Chains A and B, each alone.
Chain A
Amino acid sequence: AAGVIQSPRHLIKEKRETATLKCYPIPRHDTVYWYQQGPGQDPQFLISFYEKMQSDKGSIPDRFSAQQFSDYHSELNMSSLELGDSALYFCASSSRGSSYEQYFGPGTRLTVT
């Protein structure tokens, strides 16, 4: 079965640089979620999109923005990167018809040096 695809899997950036993470949901899933998992921490909800519109916002810094495109893939744009942004970024997708059952992608490991 098709799963959530994230790219790149690993990314190394320097402070103050920008990064773009991509997420391709499971086919026919209409909702995408972004989570940030710091070392030894729980995943923290950042933002979600339903049918290309932002549906919920969590603890996403103002330096970050995201959008969902017409093909339902989503991109998380991160600017003015800080050392503390180093984390694993997960994307998850779901279908509204499945009561928010979320399927996670493999994550993008971002390292800021």
Chain B
Amino acid sequence: AQSVSQHNHHVILSEAASLELGCNYSYGGTVNLFWYVQYPGQHLQLLLKYFSGDPLVKGIKGFEAEFIKSKFSFNLRKPSVQWSDTAEYFCAVGHKLTFGGGTRVLVKP
């Protein structure tokens, strides 16, 4: 069975602040980890993914994530957020995706 959980349900921060969203997973098979973003009223867009190799993954829009096997974590980071990063962020695992509850991020201008 696979499961994933996100640490925070809501995050509020100011523009130019750094962002880190936590994600922990439990999965017995080959690890396929994803971060998706859902802007208000829009569909899910893939930010980045990890299957194997370099544990530091770079995605679109300046996001990156680090896979730490010993901690079963796949945290998402962005050094400096913009107002346009206001969205809901989902960590997901597996091939029939299981999502982690989502984190709503509000960036104040």
* Residues 62 to 109 of chain B near chain A (Cβ within 8 Å): 90, 94-102
User: Counting CB contacts under 8 A, is B46 at the interface?
Assistant: yes
User: Counting CB contacts under 8 A, is A24 at the interface?
Assistant: no
With the chains together, A68 CA to B20 CA distance in Å?
39
User: Counting CB contacts under 8 A, is A72 at the interface?
Assistant: no
Stretch with Cβ within 8 A of B (4 or more), from A13-21, A41-49, A79-87: A41-49
0/1 interface trace, chain A 64-91, chain B, CB 8 Å (1 if under) = 0000000000000000000000000010
The distance from the CB of B27 to the nearest CB of chain A, in whole angstroms, is 13
Interface size class of B (residues with CB under 8 A): 20 to 34
Partner of B43, one of A58, A99, A104: A104
Residues of A within 8 A of B49 (CB): 99, 101
Given known A-B contacts A42-B102, A100-B32, A90 and B43 have beta carbons under 8 A apart: yes
With the chains together, A100 CA to B102 CA distance in Å?
20
Asked if A45 and B43 make an inter-chain contact with CB atoms under 8 angstroms apart, the answer reads no
Interface size class of A (residues with CB under 8 A): 10 to 19
A-B pairs with CB below 8 Å: how many? 44
The distance from the CB of A68 to the nearest CB of chain B, in whole angstroms, is 15
Partner of A105, one of B43, B46, B102: B43
Asked if A43 and B46 make an inter-chain contact with CB atoms under 8 angstroms apart, the answer reads no
The distance from the CB of B55 to the nearest CB of chain A, in whole angstroms, is 16
With the chains together, A104 CA to B90 CA distance in Å?
13
B90: nearest chain-A partner, CB-CB: A42
A3: nearest chain-B partner, CB-CB: B43
Asked if A106 and B43 make an inter-chain contact with CB atoms under 8 angstroms apart, the answer reads yes
Asked if A42 and B100 make an inter-chain contact with CB atoms under 8 angstroms apart, the answer reads yes
Binding site for A on B (CB under 8 A): 32, 34, 36, 42-46, 49, 51, 90, 94-102
The 7 closest A-B pairs by CB, nearest first: A100-B95, A42-B99, A104-B44, A45-B96, A106-B43, A56-B96, A104-B43
Q: Can you add 13 more A-B contacts, CB < 8 Å, to A43-B44, A43-B99?
A: A33-B96, A35-B97, A42-B100, A43-B97, A45-B96, A90-B43, A92-B44, A99-B49, A100-B32, A102-B34, A103-B46, A104-B44, A106-B43
